[in-house]
Structure 1
Amino acid sequence: MTTMFLARIVQGYIWEALGNEGTIEFVENHDDICMAKPLMATAKPRLPLYMYPTY
């Protein structure tokens, strides 16, 4: 279930770096398992808004 949710999130949106950062860098932190810089991104719907259901 988690895999399907993650796939829908990744494929259902257009992802961009937040602010004036041009790229997202995946640099590891040598002290623990966290990333050296937090991941900051914005998501925009991929499809036109009329195609999404409204409940």
Structure 2
Amino acid sequence: MEIPLHQQFEKQRLQGVVHRATDLAELKGLTQQLIDLYFKQKAATAWAIADKS
């Protein structure tokens, strides 16, 4: 599965933020945001699949 171009840019931007980070609190905050987004995406996907049934 290919990632759309705009998402590739966003991915590179976030990778740059992680790479340049020197503050552990900053990394923890970013990690918490990404975990939250991951589970929201999982819930949205499950809802979309259930809605089609």
Relative to the length of structure 2, the TM-score reads 0.30
Relative to the length of structure 1, the TM-score reads 0.30
Structure with the larger helix share:
2
Structure with the larger strand share:
1
